[in-house]
Amino acid sequence: GMSGIISADSAAFRKKRTGLKKCSSMKMRCSANAHSRPQRLQGNMSGKRHGYPQRRKKGTGKMRVLEAKFVQGFMRMADDGWNQGWHERNGGNLTYRIKKEETESIREELSEDGEWKEIGTAVPALAGEYFLVTGSGKYFRNVMSDPEDSIAVIELDDKGENYRICWGLVNGGRPTSELPSHLMNHEVKMQATGGKHRVIYHAHTTNVIALTFVLPLKDEVFTRELWEMATECPVVFPDG
């Protein structure tokens, strides 16, 4: 009886010991694999943990443009305006003159097959420039949820008289109907500021609209009133 118990215990011990060896061997292999791919694991963890879009292969297009910081900032600005109540339905429009290095960062995703279309004005100083623009009839509320349908990257020709769509507006459409006035303002602002100013934003800002009914329509009057309403205003626009 005793020998049977010892024999059974010995067999169980050997089985347990064998299992420990296998487990230990697996741990060593797992540890070795983990140390051999630290950058890959860390990169994947970082992207998923923070909710960042994962980089896709060259040529897919969908995420590469949307990963660009200037595009994300444009989308956030449009969304902020909607949340402020500045854009009823398809009201308002936003355009941004893209920096050369930003254009290069998304160059491989920009199409050169788009049809050239007349701007409706001539802006020779902006010849060859690229712009990020909202679409005509598109809603600011949809820019964040469906950017490829709501916004576009456009290129101007070498005379500043025509444009073509290089990315976006995938379901058809055209840039904001106020593109001519935006581009004329961009041209003036670029020349006046040495290229510093890059954004033209048309919004229906509720409080400012209300002030137009109670204040004289003069720059200096509005400037003074806004300066007195919020201490941040003189910091944001010290020149009025």
Rounded Cα distance, 153 and 130, in Å:
7
Rounded Cα distance, 185 and 17, in Å:
80
Rounded Cα distance, 71 and 103, in Å:
11
Check 115, 161, 178, 220 and give the catalytic one: 178
Contact 91, 204 (CB under 8 A): yes
Q: Which two tokens stand for residue 148?
A: 């490829």
Contact 133, 154 (CB under 8 A): yes
Q: Which two tokens stand for residue 144?
A: 């964040």
DSSP H helices in 37-156: 38-50, 62-67, 69-83, 100-105, 147-150
Whether residue 178 lies in the annotated active site: yes
CA neighbours closer than 13 Å in the CB half-sphere of residue 59? 0
Catalytic annotation, residues? 178
